[in-house]
Amino acid sequence: MTHNTDRNDTLFDRAKALIPGGVNSPVRAFRAVGGTPRFIARAHGAYMWDAAGRQYIDYIGSWGPMILGHGHPAVLEAVQKAALDGFSFGAPTEREVDLAEEIIRHVPSMEMIRLVSSGTEAGMSAIRLARGATGRAKIIKFNGCYHGHADSLLVKAGSGLATFGHATSAGVPEVVVQDTLVLEYNDVAQLEEAFALYGRDVACVIMEPIAGNMNFVRASVPFMRRARELCTQHGALLVIDEVMTGFRVALGGAQSLYARQIPGFQPDLTVLGKVIGGGMPLAAFGGPRAIMERLAPLGPVYQAGTLSGNPVATACGLATLREIAKPGFYEALAKRTQDLTNGLAGAAKAAGVDFCADSQGGMFGFFLLPQLPQNYPEVLKTDGARFNQLFHGLLDRGVYIAPALYEAGFVSAAHSAEDIAATVAAAGEVFKAFSK
């Protein structure tokens, strides 16, 4: 490192004495890439400043929510006004209804919605609802997809379809995950085999339409179509986890993109987070009225949350959604994101570096591979050492990407053409250094 990180080092030492690993979420610790994590002091627009005063072009965006950039005036005004009226009431507010209407207006598969405080909570609750609605216990998830840290989802694949998953975290009893089956993403034949073996017992299939925790891997149209067909055929629910993609890749979420290619396509339940809270702790799950009315207090499936629908968080989310619904927003965001990935690909090609990238709306991913991977085992073939070199090379040049090669990146409406050009130039310098 060539610049002074003394302040970050000092804070990290203090944090490690008080907080496990010095961080409150594991990926922030820089364990995958090495070095000292940056302690962020402030952010504005497309930029963040760390505790040592160093400025970075931000491609994390709080892991997706900051689609307008940091401190957008309309969002800031809404949050400040809401805070003056009160931080939390533990009672219903009009703004909860306004936000629910705004979300449902753009996502036709959702007739009713329940607000919660985190994506983990939303995913966990959607699975409980699916089990309650179907009277079945087994669930299917996919290797490399992340749906939060609920016990039944912290699972790695078994040795074959005859065996169910095994817990990937200490503290999760095997009995908790014995009904979780983990399959490979984009493997239609394996999905068909799983339903042939267990179809009558499957409550739901839960999947990310674009997997953002193995960087950026799309569900193929045939894979998504077959998942919908098999769930319908066997009476299971299709749960689409759009915590990351919802309102990030399109106004109607990733499901709207598949609906253009698969006639009549809709999930049974949708999980949302990140953008709908605008950076505040807020998430949701929803679906058809007949399923959602099985939730307490109307039905037997229990779910509750003291801070659900927080009045400041709903103000932040509502202001964000109203801004991104304006005409031309997603076209401009998608172009800026494509300019970034195209520029990075060109810089890599000029340096003779294997590189591929993909993007949708304001979400992107890249791999140090000759072609885009389709599942987690293929993602694992990327060059981790070179990625670490790229990460630190960019960080030293004032560009902040995710500190792990398995995480997607995010562009905001605040990123300028100059920001993109500076990022591409910085990456070009690092790519050239790969061969030295």
Residues labelled as active-site residues:
146, 241, 274
Q: Which of 25, 56, 60 is nearest to 279 (CA)?
A: 60
Q: C-alpha angle 328/331/333, rounded to 5°?
A: 105
Please name every residue paired with 181 in a beta bridge, in sequence order, or none if there are none: 140
Residue with token string 């008080």: 18
b/e burial code for range 295-324 (CB count within 10 A of at least 16 → b)? beeeeebebeeebbbbbbbbbbbbbbbebb
Q: In this structure, which amino acid lies at residue 175?
A: V
What does the alpha-carbon distance between residue 158 and residue 176 come to, in Å, rounded to a whole number?
A: 14
What does the alpha-carbon distance between residue 301 and residue 203 come to, in Å, rounded to a whole number?
A: 14
Antiparallel, parallel or unpaired: β 237-242 and 269-272: parallel
Q: Residue 364 belongs to what H/E stretch?
A: strand 363-367
255 contact partners, CB below 8 Å, separation of at least 6: 107, 109, 209, 240, 242, 265, 266, 267, 270
What does the alpha-carbon distance between residue 114 and residue 126 come to, in Å, rounded to a whole number?
A: 10
8 Å CB contact between 118 and 283:
yes
What does the alpha-carbon distance between residue 301 and residue 284 come to, in Å, rounded to a whole number?
A: 16
**DSSP symbol at 416:** -
25 contact partners, CB below 8 Å, separation of at least 6: none
Q: C-alpha angle 67/11/275, rounded to 5°?
A: 15
